[in-house]
Amino acid sequence: MNLSLLIWVPLATALAVALSGGWKQARIIALSGAVVQLLLAAYFLWAFVEARNAGNGSLMLLESSRPWFAPLHINFHIGVDGISMAMVMLTAFVVLAGVLVSWSESYRSREFFFLLTFLAAGAYGFFISLDLFTLFFFLELAVIPKFLLIGIWGSGKRQYSALKLALMLMGGSALVFVGILAIYFNTRTGQGFHSFDILEVARQGLPPSVQKFFFPFIFTGFGIFGALFPFHTWVPDGHSSAPTAASMFLAGISMKLGGYGCLRVATWLMPLAAHDYSGIIVALSVIAILYGAFATMMQTDLKYINAYSSVSHCGFVLLGIGMLTQTSLSGAVLQMVSHGLMTALFFASIGMIYSRTHTRILSRMGGLLKVMPFISTVFVIAGLCSLGLPGLSGFAAEVTVLMGSWQNPDTWYRLATILACCSIVVTAVYILRAVGQTIMGPVPEKNDFILQDASWNEKWAAGILVFGILIVGVTPFLLTKLTGPGTELIMQQVEKAISIK
């Protein structure tokens, strides 16, 4: 089976949703599409592991390439390594859960599921692209559906948030655009052509001056997607205004586009610059981690709590990339997967609570554990994962990042690591406070609404994500083994660049 099915299946699903008769039909199509995507992703994972076990050591597996714009040497080149495979699996999980959570969305639901599925196609395409043009294409493809999802189905100041998100993300992609053009024109293949091909660029290496000048473009561009401080401001507004499924996609998948891009394009293709700029990256990510954590403490709205804590958690991704050790890089990948699952679960449970209580303000809630045990339990699991409880994914990921960071012997980097560690305490404070106020204590008397526990679709959605969290949490070595060769390769590239210098 060709890897491009990962793009075609969601696209076909989106088309079928658009042509479907009514909303009940639309959601069934969307759900079956999401299930097929998960099965496909699982199949490709299996094929990937089989091939690796059989000793296939090439950089990318399941590769295929066909010319797209031949005169410019732009190819539709796709393939996966361990890192992309992990991201694809994450996407498949979150997409399925997101569709399940939105099962009862009845306002313009055909359009809703169309956009969700379209967004998924963009994410899959991005993660499997091996050509910078295709990669950029899919990066931008995933922006406008978010704008529409937030603006049409969102709550609160949805229009403002949607516009802010769209403009900031497109601003990021504009920077990426300048960067990839520079990469293109500074690459020459054997036949004397320029090339967008990631493998080709990595093989040749870019001149140091080009790296030095254009690394900030690419890293900042992708960084905006991944909530790099000070460009994180779209995150709280966007997440809190978005409908539940869109929040899940946004935090679970879209922010990972940024982290993945920083790793795959910025660090891999410009290793020397990544090394030179690592101090700035580390400083910014530590600021994001601490600032995010402290800002979360001040929030009273559950969605804002999770949104700001996402800034903090995504800071760990960038910290891992900035530290440039083998362990910290694989920690960064682990954190991307972990945060994707965890935050999707968090938003899902907040969405379930909100749809019943019609408020997300902490002080107006209480005692939910008594009336809605399932939802409350899910909420607690998400909270504990965010807090870093051993056995759940958050712990494994953040410990790996911090361990990797400590391996960097520079004093200032050690200091940064210590500061990042401190944020865990703050995280514990806000998570325990939020969870305690929401689910413990007496049920407020004014509650005249009916608090029903989760319906079947919500149970499934939560179950899928909890399953993922547990897998990553209990057996993180499976994931690190999967992503190991990919991160090793990036590290080799960095070391080679430094040694030449």
Partner 1 sequence: MLKDIFLMMNHELSLGLVLLMLLLLKVSGKVLSIDGMLRLVNGLLLLNLAAGLLPGDEGYLFHDMFHSNSLVSLEKNILNLGTLIISLQAYPWLSRHEHPEEFYFLLLSTLLGMFFMISSNNLLMFYLGLELSTIPLAALANFDLDKRQSSEAALKFIISSAFSSGLLLLGISLVYGTTGSLGFAEIVQKLDDSPLQLFAFILLLAGFGFKISVVPFHLWTADVYEGSPVVVTSYLSVISKGSIFFVLVPVLFTVFKPLADSWYHMLVILSVLTMIIGNLFALRQDSIKRMLAFSSITQVGFILVGVSGSSQTGAAAVVYFVLVYIFSNLGAFGVVALVSAFTGKEKIEDYNGLYSTNPFLSWVLAISLFSLAGIPPTAGFFGKFFLLMAGAEQGNYALITVAALNMIVSLYYYLRIIRAVFMEKSPGPIPPLTIPVLSRFGLLLCAIGIALFGLWGWIYHYIYSLSSPF
Given the complex with partner 1, which of 257 and 491 has the nearer CB atom? 257
Give the SS3 label for residue 80.
strand
- Residue nearer to partner 1 on the CB measure, 122 or 331: 122
Nearer to partner 1, 43 or 185 (CB): 185
DSSP assignment string, 21-54: SSHHHHHHHHHHHHHHHHHHHHHHHHHHHHHHHT
CB of 194 to partner 1, least distance (A): 9
Cα 385 to Cα 428: distance, rounded to the nearest angstrom: 10
Nearest approach, Cβ of 180 to partner 1 (angstroms)? 10
Are 261 and 127 in contact by the 8 Å Cβ rule? The answer is no
Stretch that binds partner 1, among 130-138, 307-315, 350-358, 414-422 (CB under 8 A): 130-138
Helices and strands per DSSP (H, E), number in the chain: 23, 2
| Minimum separation from the CB atom of position 210 to partner 1 (A) | 10
The residue behind tokens 């586009």 is 257
Distance CA 309, CA 33 (A): 31
Based on the shown chain and the rule CB under 8 A, indicate whether residue 12 belongs to the binding site for partner 1: no
Answer whether the bond into residue 230 is a cis peptide, omega within 30°.
Answer: yes
Q: Which stretch binds partner 1 (CB under 8 A): 142-150, 379-387, 417-425, 433-441?
A: 142-150
Is residue 147 involved in binding partner 1 (CB under 8 A)? yes
DSSP 444-469: PTT--S------HHHHHHHHHHHHHH
- 77 strand-pairing partners: 65
Nearer to partner 1, 11 or 51 (CB): 11
Q: Which is nearer to partner 1, 74 or 454 (CB)?
A: 74
Q: Which region among 139-147, 229-237, 348-356, 413-421 touches partner 1 (by CB under 8 A)?
A: 139-147
Query: In this structure, which amino acid lies at residue 348?
Result: A
Distance CA 34, CA 54 (A): 30
User: With respect to partner 1, which residue has the nearer C-beta, 174 or 451?
Assistant: 174
Least distance CB 73 / partner 1 (angstroms): 11
The answer to the question of residue 486 lying near partner 1 (CB under 8 A) is no
Could you say whether residue 163 binds partner 1 (CB under 8 A)? yes
Site for partner 1 in 53-92 (CB under 8 A): 67-72, 74
The helix/strand/coil state of 475 is coil
Q: Is 422 one of the binding residues for partner 1 (CB under 8 A)?
A: no
How far is it, in rounded angstroms, from Cα 499 to Cα 501?
5
Could you tell me if 344 and 378 are in contact, meaning their C-beta atoms sit under 8 angstroms apart?
no
Pick the stretch among 30-38, 168-176, 278-286, 370-378 that binds partner 1 (CB under 8 A). 168-176
| Residue span binding partner 1 (CB under 8 A) among the ranges 138-146, 247-255, 402-410, 419-427 | 138-146
184 interacts with partner 1 by CB under 8 A: yes
Residue count, binding to partner 1 (CB under 8 A): 34
Q: Dmax over Cα atoms in the chain, in whole Å?
A: 76
Cα separation, 336 vs 4, whole angstroms = 23
Rule CB under 8 A: which residues touch partner 1?
Answer: 67-72, 74, 133, 137-138, 140-141, 143-144, 147-148, 151-152, 158-159, 162-163, 166-167, 170-171, 174-175, 177-178, 181-182, 184-185
